[in-house]
Amino acid sequence: MTTTETAKAHGMDGSLVAPDWPPLTLDELRPLFAQFPALGEPVRILTVSPRPFSAAGVVETSAGRVFVKRQSLEVRDREGLCEEHRFMTYLREHGAPVPRVMVSEAGESAIERGAWIYEIHETPAGVDLYEEAISWTPFQSAAHAYSAGRLLAQLHLAAQGFAAPLRKPQPLVASFTIFAAVDPAAELASYLAVRPALANHQAVRDCAARALEILAPFHAWLLPLLPTLAPLWTHNDLHASNLFWSDAGSEARATTAIDFGLADRTNAVHDIAHAIERNIVEWLVLVNDPAHPDDVPVHLDHLEALLDGYESLRPLSAEEAEALLPMAALCHVEFALTEADYFLGALHSEEKAKLAYDDYLVGHALWQHSVAGRGLLAALSRRARAHVQFKGSKE
């Protein structure tokens, strides 16, 4: 068990590093829990989350256990956090396996105290099997990939009808606006203009323009398919570590989805592409050895299982299956930019920001043209052709 004295966070290269944000303490939690008398008093901090963008952990109270997360107000204000909470509540009300967000005696789910904002969630039933796993590391088995895909489809079915608009500009939101436009360069300029930490940074602007140039063929491919992609609020970070599991075995089922911080109004294909990007391609290998992009492992058996699980509940249309090919190459762009915004605006770390806007943004774009990248594209193409053939057989 990790303690506050030995807390480590996931580093950008996959290593464990000192956390950017101080771990939670009982002293700071006592006045917070005073606003939630039904939850009891905090007794002990049981776990310290290794996630790098906040301070969080499971807290034992006199009435049970809950999950507490603290973020800087430079990252989330009350309205920004309530955007997530309204989505989670809607999903729960429509049958999706999502933790309950706790509400204070005054009816608030996002609590500001000083420079921080707090939220408290119920602890999901099941096993936090991938607690120490970092994004861009693979599933432990194809069965896990299948179950994760099936749960993602559950989220998409439950999200239908949630009519909230796009989230306001803020760090660490995986939006889809730049390549949703006919003119990505103009939309990129708009994206940067409302994010001063990015707009005033020449290297960010240069790398973003380069990424758009590299990815232009994928946008041209996606553009005629965009009208077929219905807007939908989506998770945008469905890595195995953001799921709870039925048990610790290789056949375990995904039981609950957590961490909706990156959620926004995008579309189902965008969310599936993010799930592929998070779980199927081992990007950390590229970070540590950028000279050999063809050596980056791509877990095509897990890809097939993930998509099979998804389509067992929500079959893709032929147009969605086709759109998934270019979307898999494009979906990382706004996540890389929003990470850079966080590193520059909240952490004031040029070193970490460069990893986001250069290594991730440009490096992942270049990788799409590598042998390994083309292999992923070929696998998605085979599935898309099968959808077209199935559609033709029904007509």
User: What digits encode the pLDDT tens for the residues 86-133?
Assistant: 999 999 999 999 999 999 999 999 999 999 999 999 999 899 999 988
Distance CA 336, CA 365 (A): 11
115 and 223 housed in the same domain: no
Quick one: 112 and 151 in the same domain? no
pTM above 0.75, yes or no: yes
Residue type, 157: L
The two tokens of residue 26 are 């009982």
Q: CA–CA separation, 361 vs 346, rounded Å?
A: 19
> Are 261 and 330 members of one domain?
yes
| Residue 137 placed within a domain | no
- Report how far residue 121's alpha carbon sits from residue 109's, in angstroms, rounded to the nearest whole number: 9
For residue 343, what is the domain's CATH number? 3.90.1200.10
Stretch 289-298: mean pLDDT: 95
Question: Per-residue confidence at 362, pLDDT binned at 50, 70, 90?
Answer: very high
Return phi, psi of residue 374, to 5°: -70, -30
pLDDT at 134: 86
Q: How far apart are CA 373 and CA 277, in angstroms?
A: 11
Q: How far is CA 73 from the centre of its chain?
A: 20
Q: Say if 369 falls within a structural domain.
A: yes
Q: Last residue of a domain, which of 65, 89, 122? A: 122
In a domain, 136, yes or no: no
Assess whether 309 and 273 both reside in one domain.
yes
CA atoms of 221 and 378, how far apart (whole Å): 15
Q: How many other C-beta atoms are found inside a 10 Å radius of the C-beta of residue 386?
A: 12
Domain-embedded: residue 383 = yes
Domain count, the chain: 2
Tokens for 330, please give them. 């494009």
179 secondary structure, DSSP code? T
Closest of 93, 91, 107 to residue 36, by C-alpha:
107
* Same domain flag for 117 and 148: no
* Closest to 272 in 3D by CA, of 301, 238, 314: 238
List the one residue out of 183, 190, 272 whose CA is nearest residue 220: 183
Dihedral sign computed on CA atoms, order 333, 176, 97, 80: positive
- Look at residue 153 and give its three-state secondary structure: helix
Looking at the structure, do residues 166 and 235 belong to the same domain, yes or no?
yes
Residue at which a domain ends, from 122, 156, 171 = 122
Check whether residue 175 and residue 282 sit in a common domain: yes
Residues 288 and 382 in one domain: yes
Q: For residues 34 and 180, state if they share a domain.
A: no
Kindly state whether residues 231 and 88 are assigned to the same domain: no
The answer on 357 and 210 residing in a single domain is: yes
Q: Does some domain include residue 128? A: no
In a domain, 51, yes or no: yes
Q: Are residues 278 and 171 in the same domain?
A: yes
Note the pLDDT of residue 311.
Answer: 98
Residue 2 above 70 pLDDT?
no
Q: Is the pLDDT of residue 343 over 80?
A: yes
pLDDT of residue 312: 98
pLDDT at residue 1 in the model: 41
pLDDT (tens digit per residue) in 179-218: 999 999 999 999 999 999 999 999 999 999 999 999 999 9
Question: Per-residue pLDDT for 325 more than 70?
Answer: yes
Whether residue 199 is contained in a domain is answered as yes
Question: Could you tell me the CATH number of the domain that includes residue 59?
Answer: 3.30.200.20
CA distance 269 to 180: 12
pLDDT for the residue 340: 98
Of 287, 284, 270, 243, the C-alpha closest to 333 is 270
Domain hosting residue 77, numbered range: 4-122
Q: Between 86 and 135, whose confidence is greater?
A: 86
Q: What's the number of CA atoms in the CB half-sphere (13 Å) around residue 195?
A: 28
Res 391 pLDDT > 60? no
47-77 tens-digit pLDDT? 999 988 999 999 999 999 999 999 999 999 9
Full strand arrangement of the beta sheet holding 55-61: 42-45, 55-61, 64-72, 116-122, 111-113
Give the mean model confidence (pLDDT) for residues 30-39: 97
The pLDDT > 70 percentage for the chain reads 95
Residue 134 belongs to a domain: no
